[in-house]
Amino acid sequence: MKELPVFLLDGAEVPYRPGQSVLQAALAAGHYIPHLCYHPDFQPHGSCRVCTAKVNGHTVASCTTMADSAVEVESDTEELDDLRRTLVQMLFAEGNHFCPSCEKSGNCGLQALGYDLGVMTAGFRHLFPDRPVDASHPDFLLDFNRCILCELCVRASREVDGKNVFSLAGRGITKHLIVNSQSGRLVDSEIALSDKAAEVCPVGVILRKRIGFVTPIGQRRFDRSPISKQALEDAPRTGAGCDD
């Protein structure tokens, strides 16, 4: 069996298969780099910047940087974790993320990341924007207050469902999620309960109606273990010489 090439991550050797990103290879090898908009089933996006690492001294998104034996990667440093905490704070400050009454609490990627990184402060003045709730569809609730612009729903709808239910519109601070229907409302879109886009939202935007608080506290996803542990468990493996 041919041995895989390696790169250095925080001093440790990480095997990779050509074509994998630094993030993919790291996760597969059991090294957690925090991330939010990356999902193993879709093309990486590089928008949330939480997976920022130093590659040969340059700050890059590790999800869009190809693994290469020539690089030395730094990720597990206090400086980078401070940066990641700031990003999480900014995401919280931009929208209306009221964890206490959100049904996604305990199953939320943004929240779990905050816990894991140890985000304890608000950091920024919260904007308290006036964002809509689209309850038009009989089966889904869209709560735009909580959108973090990760675009997983956009990618899922396009790449897996073959639809195109969601898009991001606007630029800069006005960038926001929209529904691609004539009226702009979800009820007039093609979304279906079986869609990948319906289940991929890491936060509490795209919700199936009338589920609500169905899981008791203590049994929710991130009550059982932190997101760093689960990300490693869920990462597809880089097998030496095998097709995964």
Partner 1 sequence: MTEPAIRKLRVATTSLAGCFGCHMSFLDIDERLFDLLDKIEFDRSPLTDIKTCGPCDIGIVEGGICNAENVHVLREFRANCKILIAIGACAVTGGLPAQRNHLDLGQCLQEVYVTEPSVTDGMIPNDPELPLPLDKVHPLHEVVSIDYFIPGCPPSADAIWKFLTDLIEGRTPKLGYGLIQYD
Partner 2 sequence: MNDSLETAQNAKSLRRVAIEPLSRVEGHGKITLLLDEDDRVRQARLHIVEFRGFEKFIQGRPYWEVPVMVQRLCGICPVSHHLAASKALDQVVGAVQLTPTAEKLRRLMHYGQILQSHALHFFYLSSPDLLFGFGSEAARRNIVGVAAAYPDIARKGVLLRKYGQEVIRHTAGKRIHGTSSIPGGVNKSLSVDERAELLNDIYRMVAWSRDAVHLVRRFFEQDLETYRGFAAFKARTLSLVRADGAMDLYHGGLRATDADGNATFDHLNYDRYWEQITEEVKAWSYMKFPYLKALGPEDGWYRVGPLTRVTRCDFIPTPLADRERRDLLAFDNGSVTVSTLGFHWARMIEMLHAAESIKDLLHDDDIVGKDLVVKGERRARGVGALEAPRGTLIHHYRVNDDDQVVRATLIVATTHNNQAMNHAIREVARRYLNGRALTEGLLNHLEVAVRAFDPCLSCATHALGRMPFSVELLDASGETVAQMVRD
Stretch that binds partner 2, among 60-68, 80-88, 133-141, 166-174 (CB under 8 A): 133-141
Taking the C-alpha atoms of residue 235 and residue 224, their distance in angstroms, rounded to an integer, is 18
Q: How far is the CB of 228 from partner 1 (least distance, A)?
A: 9
User: Dihedral of CA 150/224/83/89: which sign?
Assistant: positive
**Coil, helix or strand for 78?**
helix
Distance in Å, CB of 105 to partner 2, minimum: 8
> Quick one: how far is CA 95 from the chain centroid?
16
Q: Is 122 in the site for partner 2 (CB under 8 A)?
A: no
When asked if residue 68 is in the footprint of partner 2 (CB under 8 A), the reply is no
The reply to whether 193 sits near partner 2 by the rule CB under 8 A is no
* Binding-site ranges for partner 1 (CB under 8 A): 92, 96, 98-102, 105-106, 111, 114-116, 118, 120-122, 125-126, 128-131, 226
- Reported in sequence order, the residue ranges of 48-165 that DSSP labels E, i.e. its strands, are 52-55, 58-61, 72-74, 133-134, 140-143
- Cα-trace Rg, the chain: 19
Residue number, 117 or 205, with CB nearest to partner 2: 205
Tokens (6 digits) for 120: 């304890």
Taking CB under 8 A as the criterion, the residue among 66, 135, 160, 168 binding partner 2 is 135
The residues binding partner 2 (CB under 8 A) are 100-103, 133, 135-136, 141, 207, 209-218
